[in-house]
Amino acid sequence: MLKNRHIQGWLQASPLTLVLLGFLILPIITIVVVSFWQATEFSIIPAFSFENYEFLFGSPVTYKVFFATFKYAFITWAMTLAIGFTVAYYLAFHIRSQTLQIALFLLCTIPFWTSNIIRMISWIPFLGRNGIANSALQSWGIIDQPLEWLLYSDFSVILAFVHLYTLFMVVPIFNTMTRIDHSLIEAARDNGASGFQTLVHVILPLTKPGIMIGTIFVLTLVMGDFITVRFMSGSQKANVGRLISNDISLLQYPSAAATAVILLITVLIVIGILLRFVDIRKEL
């Protein structure tokens, strides 16, 4: 019996399956169930009511907050893609020594392994009212008054997102670019394509899978975020994640669960669309 590859496969995958069942599937089921419950100030009551959803869809705040979430996701996506593509292109096609290529690639990835919270905190001395940016601009005579919108604004939220998540674009795009057959690029040049034409008509289409994987990472990280928005906006801006975490801090679990269900569905729809463009298993 142990010779059967299906049984062997399941045995070897069982620890993984158990973790995912207990800490991914079961929590999602619980959230869905609790989203139909009711809550008082002190406790949550099992019920089957659409109250939470009615309230959610009846409130103009919900639409505003979902719009803000998409806005953050879209702007961050566009910026991380532009920066990430450029950096990956430079590393993959302009650095000729492989040792240097690996070293520079590591230089780009090391911040990923350090604390996001510290990386957010570290923007304060730069962006604050008396921060480096404002003092520099003032001493150069570009502005008279310190700019108030540098910290605790949409600007600082998006800046932090780009700072934290550009890596997630660089890595998959670089990965697909290094697998592009160099003879294709030579062929393009032999046929008279300029550097820019080669980039647009050869490299860009071949890099699409990497771009899609990076896009999935960035969109889901930004759409599910609550901490970056809270910290970088000084609690002045909201996205869906913050709506959920506010409900949680007020112990309004059923309402938080309903918002979480809608957020999850939204994220899954976005991922579903993106997965039509890329076969992840093939790209690894």
Partner 1 sequence: MEKRPKSFYVLTGFFALFILFLYGPTLTIGILSFQGPGGGLTFPMRGVSLNWFHELFQEQAVGDIWGAFRRSLMLGLMVMVTTVVVSVMGGFAFRKRFYGSGILFYLIIASLVIPSILISLGVGLIFNQFGMKIHWATSGFGSQLTWTLPFGLLIMFAVFNRFDKSFEEAARDQGASPWQTVRHVVLPIIAPSLIGVGLFGFTLSYDEFARTLLTAGSYNTLPLEIFGMTTNVTTPVIYALGTMTTLFSLLIIGAFLLTVWIMGKRRARFGSDAGKGV
Which residues within the stretch 223-242 sit at the binding site for partner 1 (CB under 8 A)?
223-227, 231, 241
What tokens were used for 275?
Answer: 């997965």
Does residue 123 interact with partner 1 by CB under 8 A? yes
Does residue 90 interact with partner 1 by CB under 8 A? yes
> Residue 228 in contact with residue 160, Cβ under 8 Å?
yes
What tokens were used for 230?
Answer: 């809270």
Among the listed ranges 137-145, 185-193, 203-211, 220-228, the one in contact with partner 1 (CB under 8 A) is 220-228
Site for partner 1 in 129-188 (CB under 8 A): 130-132, 135, 163, 166
* Contacts of range 98-105, beta carbons closer than 8 Å, 24 or more positions apart: 105/174
| Longest Cα–Cα distance in the chain | 80
Burial grade of 216 (CB within 10 A; 0-12, 13-18, 19 or more): buried
Q: C-beta of 103: minimal distance to partner 1 in Å?
A: 11
What's the rounded Cα separation, in Å, for the pair 6 and 283? 24
Q: Residue from 117, 143, 204, 265 that binds partner 1 (CB under 8 A)?
A: 117
Size of the site for partner 1 (CB under 8 A): 83
Q: Residue from 10, 63, 67, 277 that binds partner 1 (CB under 8 A)?
A: 10
Q: Which is nearer to partner 1, 60 or 196 (CB)?
A: 196
What tokens were used for 113?
Answer: 């392994």
What's the rounded Cα separation, in Å, for the pair 40 and 23? 27
Q: Residue from 92, 244, 258, 278 that binds partner 1 (CB under 8 A)?
A: 244
Q: C-beta of 135: minimal distance to partner 1 in Å?
A: 7
Site for partner 1 in 36-65 (CB under 8 A): none
Q: Residue from 30, 49, 59, 197 that binds partner 1 (CB under 8 A)?
A: 30
What tokens were used for 262?
Answer: 């809608």
Q: Residue from 40, 60, 118, 181 that binds partner 1 (CB under 8 A)?
A: 118
Distinct helix (H) and strand (E) counts, the chain? 17, 2
